[in-house]
Structure 1
Amino acid sequence: MNFSLKNVDDRIVSLDDFPDAQGFIIVFTCNHCPYAIAYENRLKELHATYADKGYPLIAINPNDPVQYPQDSFEQMKVRAASKGFEFPYLFDESQEIARQYGATRTPHAFILQKTEDGLEVKYKGAIDDNYQSAHNVKQRYLAKQLDALIAGKAVPYKETAAIGCTIKWKQPA
Structure 2
Amino acid sequence: MALVASIYKGEFTLPDFTLNDSKGVAHALKEQIGEHGLVVAFTCNHCPYAIAVWPRLVRHAATLKAMGINTIAINPNIHPGFPEDNVDAMRKKLDEWNIDFPYLADETQEVAKAFDAQCTPDIYMFDKNGELYYHGRIDDYWKDERKVTQEELLPAAEALVAGKPAPQPQHPTIGCSIKWLD
TM-score (norm 1): 0.91
1:34 and 1:9 map into 2 onto residues whose CA distance is 24
1:100 and 1:144 map into 2 onto residues whose CA distance is 26
Pair 158,24 (structure 1): closer, same or farther in 2 beyond 3 Å: farther
Shift of 1:153: 1.3
2:127 and 2:118 map into 1 onto residues whose CA distance is 21
Identify which of 35, 43, 50 aligns with 2:57. 43
Identify which of 23, 29, 37 aligns with 1:23. 37
Give ranges in structure 2 of 5+ residues lacking alignment. 1-14
> Which residue identity does 2:19 align to in structure 1?
L
Pair 17,99 (structure 1): closer, same or farther in 2 beyond 3 Å: same
2:149 paired residue number: 138
2:59 and 2:175 map into 1 onto residues whose CA distance is 19
1:89 partnered with 2:90: no
Identify which of 63, 68, 71 aligns with 1:54. 68
2:131 paired residue number: 120
1:6 partnered with 2:17: no
SS state at 2:128 partner: strand
Shift of 1:16: 4.0
> Which residue identity does 1:2 align to in structure 2?
D
RMSD of aligned residue pairs (Cα, Å): 1.5
Asked if the contact 1:7–1:91 (Cα under 8 Å) also holds between the matched residues in 2, the reply is yes
1:68 and 1:157 map into 2 onto residues whose CA distance is 36
1:147 paired residue number: 158
Residue correspondences, number: 168
Shift of 1:22: 2.0
Give CA-to-partner distance per residue, 1:113-170, whole Å, 9 cap, x none: 123xxx1111112221111111221222211211111112112126321101000000
Give CA-to-partner distance per residue, 1:45-95, whole Å, 9 cap, x none: 111101121111100000142121101011110111211110100000010
Asked if the contact 2:32–2:38 (Cα under 8 Å) also holds between the matched residues in 1, the reply is no
TM-score (norm 2): 0.86
Give ranges in structure 1 of 5+ residues lacking alignment. none
Q: Which has the higher contact order (CA 8 A, sep 6+)?
A: 2
1:5 and 1:137 map into 2 onto residues whose CA distance is 33
1:126 and 1:149 map into 2 onto residues whose CA distance is 16
